[in-house]
């Protein structure tokens, strides 16, 4: 389930929410003040792999160069 981060334009609260659909996004309100005047924040992400082998050069397991 994706986690989205928002900033409230009214009270400046930053918060994160688990959301499945864009319909849920339309109903999102600030947990501090209840305002729906919010904006989505672009945030960094993290990923991990079950592959425990070492890899150099930043290549991804299972990726084919297509050539």
pLDDT digits (tens, 9 = 90+) for 8-55: 999 999 999 988 877 778 899 999 999 999 999 987 777 777 766 555
Q: What pLDDT score was predicted for residue 55?
A: 54
Strand residues in the chain grouped as ranges (E):
3-8, 14-18, 38-41
Predicted local confidence at residue 35, as pLDDT? 97
Q: What is the pLDDT of residue 53?
A: 58
Assess whether pLDDT exceeds 50 at residue 67: no
List beta partners, residue 16. Answer: 5
**pLDDT value at position 63?**
46
């Amino acid at each position: 389930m994706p986690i989205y981060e928002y900033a409230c334009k009214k009270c400046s609260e930053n918060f994160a929410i688990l959301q499945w659909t864009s319909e849920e996004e339309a109903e999102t309100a600030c947990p501090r003040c209840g305002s729906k005047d919010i904006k989505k924040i672009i945030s960094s992400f993290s990923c991990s792999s079950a592959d425990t082998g070492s890899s150099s050069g930043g290549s991804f397991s299972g990726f084919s160069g297509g050539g």
